Amino acid sequence: MAETELERAQRLFDEGAARIERQRALISELRADGHADLAEKAAQLLGQLLALQAEHEANLRKLRSP
């Protein structure tokens, strides 16, 4: 059975939240291991993930509103 647009939006939002948490953990790990340069690149990617997550959230709100 195909997912609805709302189900897809929720899935993308949930997957995005999981990616963000993994990225934050990776950044902490890199910093703790003394890899400041890689941590900075990972932090830049986190910024992109956060921007994408904001789009997912806005789409989800739009689909949920009457």
Mean of the pLDDT values across residues 45-53?
A: 98
Q: H helices within 1-66, ranges in order?
A: 5-32, 36-64
Angle formed at CA 7 by CA 45 and CA 65, multiple of 5 degrees: 95
What CA–CA distance (Å, rounded) separates 56 from 54? 5
Mean of the pLDDT values across residues 18-22?
A: 98
Query: What is the reported pTM?
Result: 0.90
Angle formed at CA 21 by CA 51 and CA 7, multiple of 5 degrees: 65
| Arithmetic mean of pLDDT over the chain | 97
Q: Which structure tokens are listed for 46?
A: 């986190």
User: How does pLDDT run across 21-44, given as a tens digit for each residue?
Assistant: 999 999 999 999 999 999 999 999
pLDDT score, position 66 = 78
Domain locations along the chain: 5-64
pLDDT score, position 63 = 96
